[in-house]
Amino acid sequence: NAGVTQTPKFRVLKTGQSMTLLCAQDMNHEYMYWYRQDPGMGLRLIHYSVGEGTTAKGEVPDGYNVSRLKKQNFLLGLESAAPSQTSVYFCASSYGEGSLPYEQYFGPGTRLTVT
């Protein structure tokens, strides 16, 4: 049982390049989330999904897109990377409606640097 896994672990991009971060979970969770973590800011929600085929904006969605084509996967895309997107990105998942909504399981993170 791997829990929540993220690919890649590290990435360096040049300004204007694009990339996709992959999140996978094997806990059959309904809800999935993408956060970014910046020093002094805590974690901020980028986008989330309450089920396969659904996505919604979080607190800081600008510059990012997401897709959830399969229940176990949640992809985060950066179409044109900017230095302000340098951050550590965390994916999380939770059981969904009827469970404890604050009980989220986090992946190990992806450290992204945009130069």
CB of 54 to another protein, least distance (A): 15
Within 4-109, strands assigned E span 4-7, 10-13, 19-25, 31-38, 42-49, 56-57, 64-67, 73-78, 87-94, 105-106
Task: Draw the binding track, 20-59, toward another protein (x: CB under 8 A; -: no contact).
Answer: --------------------xxxxxx--x---------xx
> Cis omega before residue 8 (within 30°)?
yes
Q: How far apart are CA 6 and CA 90, in angstroms?
A: 8
Give whichever of 38 and 79 is closer to another protein, judged by the CB atom: 38
For residues 73 and 106, which CB has a smaller minimum distance to another protein in the complex?
Answer: 106
Residues binding another protein: what is the number (CB under 8 A)? 22
In this structure, what is the dihedral angle of CA atoms 32, 67, 87, 35, given to the nearest 10 degrees? Answer: -20
Q: Kindly state the helix (H) or strand (E) to which residue 111 belongs, with its residue range.
A: strand 110-114
Question: Judged by CB, which is closer to another protein: 26, or 59?
Answer: 59
73-112 residues in contact with another protein (CB under 8 A) are: 90, 92, 100-109
> Nearer to another protein by C-beta: 85 or 94?
94
The binding site for another protein (CB under 8 A) comprises 4, 40-45, 48, 58-59, 90, 92, 100-109
